[in-house]
Amino acid sequence: MPDQPPSARLSTKTDKKRKRQTEESSRKDTSPQGRSTNNKSSDVPSKKKLKKGKGELQQKQNLQNTEGIKGAQRENAINVSIGLMDGRLLADHLVQKARKLNKDLTAVELNDLCVSDSVFRDTTSFNSTRSLDQLATFLKTFSPDSGAGLSKSSEETGTPHTLVISPAALRAADVVRALRTFQNKESIIGKLFAKHIKLEEAKQFLQRARTGLGVGTPTRISDLIESGALKLNELERIVIDGSFIDQKQRGIFDMKETHFPLLQLLNRPELNACYKRKEKPARILVF
- Radius of gyration of the CA atoms of the chain, in A: 39
pLDDT grade for 54, boundaries at 50, 70 and 90: low
SS3 90: helix
Inter-CA distances, 205 with 85, 193, 220, 229, 230, Å: 36, 12, 14, 9, 10
Has residue 53 got a pLDDT over 90?
A: no
The answer, yes or no, to whether residue 147 has pLDDT greater than 50, is yes
Q: What angle do CA 107, 120, 218 make, to 5 degrees?
A: 70
- Residues 236 and 144: beta-carbon distance below 8 Å: no
Cα-based angle 87, 90, 92 (whole degrees, multiple of 5): 110
What is the arithmetic mean of pLDDT over 94-119?
95
Instruction: Compute the distance between CA of residue 199 and CA of residue 208 in angstroms, rounded to an integer.
Output: 15
Q: Does residue 284 carry a pLDDT above 60?
A: yes
CA–CA distance, 99 with 93 (Å, rounded to integer): 10
What pTM did the predictor assign? 0.73
> Predicted confidence band at 225 (pLDDT cuts at 50, 70, 90)?
very high
Range scoring the smallest mean pLDDT among 46-55, 79-88, 259-268: 46-55
Helices (H), 31-155: 32-75, 87-101, 107-113, 135-141
Mean local confidence (pLDDT), 84-91: 96
Overall size of the chain counted in residues: 287
Question: Which pLDDT score, from 0 to 100, does residue 38 have?
Answer: 46
- Mean pLDDT over the full length of the chain: 84
CA-CA-CA-CA torsion for 131, 137, 138, 143, nearest 10 degrees?
A: 170
Per-domain boundaries in the chain: 77-286
pLDDT at 167 over 50: yes
Tell me, what's the pLDDT at 37? Answer: 45
State the average pLDDT over residues 204-217. Answer: 97
Q: How many angstroms separate the CA atoms of 5 and 129, rounded?
A: 109
Domain spanning 77-286, CATH class: alpha beta
What confidence category does residue 195 fall into, taking pLDDT thresholds of 50, 70 and 90?
confident
Mean pLDDT score, 251-264: 97
pLDDT-derived band at 264 (thresholds 50, 70, 90) equals very high
Quick one: pLDDT band at residue 196, thresholds 50, 70, 90? confident
Q: List strand residue ranges (DSSP E) for 122-259, in order.
A: 162-165, 190-192, 213-216, 237-240
